[in-house]
């Protein structure tokens, strides 16, 4: 069974495009988030650190809505337009995770949706897994 999760603090994509988060059994999947505001146009965060922090705040809203926590995230895929931003993104990540960090891939891409977007992050996790170790 698959269930779409909603967070009232984050804009939902247009209907029939994608879901921000879905849960199947205990597993959850968070689509690639950027630092776009709820208007879908404005980009918040002047640098990779600020954008990553906004993205992790969005993820936190969704994990909470699903009855999970950030520490239930098992895998992150992080896309950056400049690989030199890795430490900025990791600094933001450290503010949202405790203990063993999720498995992670960091990928430099030529561009994201608009030139002002420096970071996009997606996640996979399992509800309740952080409490079972």
d(CA 28, CA 21): 7
The predicted pLDDT at position 131 comes to: 66
In the predicted model, residues of the chain with pLDDT beneath 50 are 133
Q: Residue 17: what pLDDT?
A: 87
- For 10, residues 6+ apart whose C-beta sits below 8 A from its C-beta are 20, 33, 38, 58, 61, 62
pLDDT of residue 16: 85
pLDDT tens for each residue of 48-62: 999 999 999 999 999
**Residue 34 and residue 118 in contact, taking contact as beta carbons nearer than 8 Å:** no
| pLDDT score at 133 | 46
């Amino acid at each position: 069974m698959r269930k779409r999760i909603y967070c009232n603090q984050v804009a939902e994509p247009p209907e029939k495009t994608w879901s921000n988060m879905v849960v199947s059994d205990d597993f959850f999947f968070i689509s690639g988030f950027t630092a776009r505001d709820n208007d879908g146009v404005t980009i918040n965060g002047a640098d990779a650190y600020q954008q990553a922090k906004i993205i992790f705040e969005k993820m936190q809203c969704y994990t909470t809505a699903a009855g999970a926590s950030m520490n239930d995230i098992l895998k992150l895929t992080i896309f950056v337009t400049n690989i030199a931003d890795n430490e900025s993104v990791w600094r933001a990540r450290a503010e949202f995770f405790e203990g063993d960090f999720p498995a992670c891939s960091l990928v430099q891409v030529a561009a994201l949706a608009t030139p002002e977007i420096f970071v996009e992050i997606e996640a996979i996790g399992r509800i309740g897994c952080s409490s079972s170790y």
